[in-house]
Chains A and B, each alone.
Chain A
Amino acid sequence: MTPQTFFRRKQRLMLLTLSGLLVSYAVASIALGFQQGALLQVQTGFLWMAQNFLPTAATFKLLPAVLFQLWRAFIIATAAAGVAGLLSLLLAVIGAKNLGQRHVTVSFLIRGFASVLRNIPIIAWALILLFSFKQNELTGFLALWFMNLGFLTRAFLETIEDFDTGKLEALIATGTSRPVAIMQGLLPEIATPTVEWLLYMIENNVRDATLVGLLTGTGIGFLFDLYFKSINYPAAGLVVAVLIVLVISLELLSTHIQRSLT
């Protein structure tokens, strides 16, 4: 193979991938009969949204009620991620293949359990849990918690399996027991990615909490639903606006924390 043919082959592969992506849209639009004409009107659509959903002076009277629900969504999001995070870390330490877990089945079961939990959509969790816990905040908390448990266990497993176990061995060589070596050697080294995952999870939970609230009839999601169905669009717009502000602040906060950790 000459360099020319090697790079030509790479370029061809790149072109093929790009055209494949475009073809997938073409196939979908033909098969599903997209009314592509509507795309040309997109600016009028946005204009309508901007006019109707823009919070007016009157809606700001609702701000305290909206902020109260936002606060509740935030603490539920944080609590779910926090409690799930602790258990996930424990499961990941037990299940990680590089920390001396000799029983392949244990590792496999924890991995499988986490995958199942994680891959059930949050909506499905909420609907399933509604049966037993009825319409209240606990249902929303549990839905987030189950999903978080699966997601974080997977994330922590991968983080731990990237860890260089030579460091652990160095501590064990000093006569330290394995649990102490894990506590003093592994945890400090994975602290940064662990905190990053937790912050990401909280952010994600705030978004999901809205969706879950729609179904469980609680919290910020319920408020949005209420305003929307009573055609109070500016108030619904206010809910969306404060959510965006919260999520962006969380994002900024997490970048700030990440920077100070490294």
Chain B
Amino acid sequence: MLTVTALSKRYTPDKPSLEAVDLQADVGTITAVIGPSGAGKTTLLRSLNQLLKDDEGQVCLDDVDLRQLSKRDLQKARRNIGMIFQNYNLIDALTVLENVLHGCLGAKSTLAGMFAHYTAEEKQEALKLIDEMGLSDFAYTACKHLSGGQKQRVGIARALMQHPKMMLCDEPIASLDPKSAQMVMTILRRLADDKGLIVVVNLHQVDIATEFADHIVALNHGRKVFDGVPADLQAAQIQAIYA
């Protein structure tokens, strides 16, 4: 379970980007974070795996406060947290297989990582994940030749290679066509249902959030302005969130 308590973050002293945000996310559920541009969605998500530091509050994954960990222990903890991005952030020059295998670099010694030394089992597992994402024809294709929807599925496979407990998704469908967007959201839904992952996803589209999420959190100016199930989110509230 993910428990965030009183999380605050300011880039500049006068303007908070997150202010005392509380949040709980259970295993096997999708939590959607919505809110207007600049509300603090990305800031929140990047605090959850401590890519952003110098914040205040608590970020506990299974009762371990990530903020208290040493550099080494944080690195270890991050292996449990997968992340996908709006612009995919794949290594475009490398093949799909290599990108997926990057998901297990964190579990390797520095030397093995430096020289990309992967075991036969790891390669087998990567190929299986690529197959699950419907990309088996592209295993040896460089990622720069893929479409956006395909790239995002490579991103998901790379994250799954980590065997994560939690999956962070920063606007994973914002650059995709409606069909690919549905596909990616359906995959995330399956990860929550079948693999029991904690999924936290930033979204711009409220309709997608209500369709796929179990739990919606809305931010505005760094403050939490809604926290509940999709059914409770009324039109008037949506207007207020985006006001």
Binding site for B on A (CB under 8 A): 164, 166-167, 169-177, 179-181, 183-185, 188-189, 191-192
Q: Which of B51, B76, B108, B116 contacts A173 (CB 8 A)?
A: B51
Query: Do most interface residues of chain A lie in helix, strand or loop, or is the interface mixed?
Result: helix
Stretch at the interface among B8-16, B57-65, B83-91: B83-91
- Expressed in whole angstroms, the Cα–Cα distance for A167 and B151 within the complex equals 13
Query: Do most interface residues of chain B lie in helix, strand or loop, or is the interface mixed?
Result: mixed
Contact A189 B103 (CB under 8 A): no
Q: Nearest-CB distance from A187 to chain B (Å)?
A: 9
Contact A176 B93 (CB under 8 A): no
Contact B87 A189 (CB under 8 A): no
Q: Which residues of chain A have C-beta atoms less than 8 A from B89's C-beta? A: 164, 166-167, 169-170
A-B contact count (CB 8 A): 76
Interface centre among B75, B77, B91 (most CB of A within 10 A): B91
Contact A175 B75 (CB under 8 A): yes
Contact B114 A174 (CB under 8 A): no
- Expressed in whole angstroms, the Cα–Cα distance for A185 and B105 within the complex equals 11
Contact A170 B85 (CB under 8 A): yes
- Expressed in whole angstroms, the Cα–Cα distance for A164 and B82 within the complex equals 20
Q: Which residues of chain A have C-beta atoms less than 8 A from B106's C-beta? A: 174-176
Q: Nearest-CB distance from A169 to chain B (Å)?
A: 6
Q: Which residues of chain A have C-beta atoms less than 8 A from B124's C-beta? A: none
> 0/1 per residue, B100-143, Cβ < 8 Å to A?
00110111101001101000000000000000000000000000
Q: A172-B78, A175-B105, A191-B93 known; 7 other A-B pairs, CB under 8 Å?
A: A167-B90, A170-B90, A171-B102, A174-B79, A174-B82, A181-B105, A189-B92
Q: Which residues of chain B have C-beta atoms less than 8 A from A185's C-beta? A: 91, 102
Tally chain B residues at the interface, Cβ within 8 Å: 31
Interface centre among B49, B87, B102 (most CB of A within 10 A): B102
Given contacts A166-B87, A179-B114, A183-B114, contact A174 B93 (CB under 8 A): no
Which A-chain residue is minimally distant from B158 (CB atoms)?
A174
Q: Which of B85, B90, B162 contacts A175 (CB 8 A)?
A: B162
Contact B162 A174 (CB under 8 A): yes
Contact B105 A176 (CB under 8 A): yes
Contact A174 B103 (CB under 8 A): yes
Which B-chain residue is minimally distant from A175 (CB atoms)?
B106
Contact B91 A173 (CB under 8 A): no
Contact B85 A171 (CB under 8 A): no
Which A-chain residue is minimally distant from B112 (CB atoms)?
A180
Q: Which residues of chain B have C-beta atoms less than 8 A from A176's C-beta? A: 75, 102, 105-106, 113
Which B-chain residue is minimally distant from A174 (CB atoms)?
B106
- Expressed in whole angstroms, the Cα–Cα distance for A166 and B102 within the complex equals 15
Which B-chain residue is minimally distant from A192 (CB atoms)?
B93
Q: Which residues of chain A have C-beta atoms less than 8 A from B92's C-beta? A: 189
- Expressed in whole angstroms, the Cα–Cα distance for A180 and B92 within the complex equals 17
Interface centre among A170, A175, A177, A181 (most CB of B within 10 A): A175
- Expressed in whole angstroms, the Cα–Cα distance for A45 and B237 within the complex equals 86
Listed from nearest, the 9 A-B pairs whose CB atoms lie closest are: A175-B106, A180-B113, A170-B89, A175-B79, A175-B78, A176-B105, A188-B93, A173-B83, A166-B89
- Expressed in whole angstroms, the Cα–Cα distance for A192 and B103 within the complex equals 24
Q: Nearest-CB distance from A196 to chain B (Å)?
A: 14
Q: Which residues of chain A have C-beta atoms less than 8 A from B103's C-beta? A: 174
- Expressed in whole angstroms, the Cα–Cα distance for A175 and B89 within the complex equals 15
Contact B113 A183 (CB under 8 A): yes
Q: Nearest-CB distance from B155 to chain A (Å)?
A: 8
Q: Which of A164, A169, A188 contacts B94 (CB 8 A)?
A: A188
- Expressed in whole angstroms, the Cα–Cα distance for A174 and B85 within the complex equals 13
B30 at the binding interface (Cβ < 8 Å): no
Q: Which residues of chain B have C-beta atoms less than 8 A from A180's C-beta? A: 105, 108, 110, 113-114
Q: Which of B87, B90, B94, B102 contacts A174 (CB 8 A)?
A: B102
B216 at the binding interface (Cβ < 8 Å): no
Q: Nearest-CB distance from B74 to chain A (Å)?
A: 9
Given contacts A175-B78, A175-B106, A184-B105, contact A189 B91 (CB under 8 A): yes
